[in-house]
Chains A and B, each alone.
Chain A
Amino acid sequence: DVKVTQSSRYLVKRTGEKVFLECVQDMDHENMFWYRQDPGLGLRLIYFSYDVKMKEKGDIPEGYSVSREKKERFSLILESASTNQTSMYLCASSPRRAAYEQYFGPGTRLTVT
């Protein structure tokens, strides 16, 4: 069964902390994505990776960075968390030639206080 897992379901951090969100997929997919989901705004792409060590900025990369050292793992890093980064974060993966068919993780609800 296809699986995308995220390291935490719920996370509470303080302003200024460095935050790591981990995502692992077991489908040997080339593409991996990080989105944030806010009510009324839908899904907004933060970063996208199409191969190991390769990344592209999405619509809202400011305040975030990513790391993909292994094909199955894609990390989202908040260098200095701020309250406006309180959100639901969704990770997804897809085969290279079918970027539309994304498999999503369960999400991490991050609260920054």
Chain B
Amino acid sequence: AQKITQTQPGMFVQEKEAVTLDCTYDTSDPSYGLFWYKQPSSGEMIFLIYQGSYDQQNATEGRYSLNFQKARKSANLVISASQLGDSAMYFCAMTPGGGSYIPTFGRGTSLIVHP
């Protein structure tokens, strides 16, 4: 069984500063994928970034990067130069390897960006 833990129910950050959203995971699979979604107040879920367990380098997508530390089983999301539009719920999730497609989501972190 796989598990995702997001320990920060809410985070605040000043506009233009960087922020890290924590995510730890637990799995016995040697192969897996980790990813993040954003859910603004409008409700739609938006895919942000993906990291495979065998990827050597941390994934980056624009202002988003995934700080993957395999030994610590963490997959933190780093948002650089925060913008007001980054205010949203952020969900960490994972899929197991071995051909299974069933994802597990964390409970989410609410991020508020202050001007």
Contact = CB atoms under 8 A, between A and B. Distances in A.
A90 B44 CA distance: 9
A50 B101 contact: yes
Query: In this complex, which of A33, A40, A41, A102 has the most chain B Cβ atoms within 10 angstroms of its Cβ?
Result: A102
Contacts of A96: 101
A11 interface: no
A31 B102 CA distance: 10
B25 interface: no
A79 interface: no
A43 B91 contact: yes
B68 interface: no
Interface string A85-113: 00010101010100111111011000000
Contact of B45 (A45, A58, A104): A104
Nearest to A50: B101
Contacts of A88: 43
A100 B95 contact: yes
B106 A99 contact: no
A92 B45 contact: yes
A34 interface: no
Interface in A42-92: 42-45, 48, 50, 56, 58-59, 88, 90, 92
A4 to B, nearest CB: 10
B12 interface: no
Nearest to A103: B47
Contacts of A92: 45
Interface of A: 31, 33, 35, 40-45, 48, 50, 56, 58-59, 88, 90, 92, 94, 96, 99-104, 106-107
23 contacts: A31-B101, A35-B105, A42-B6, A42-B91, A42-B105, A42-B106, A43-B105, A45-B103, A45-B105, A56-B102, A59-B104, A90-B45, A96-B101, A99-B95, A99-B101, A100-B33, A100-B93, A100-B103, A101-B47, A102-B37, A102-B45, A103-B47, A107-B43
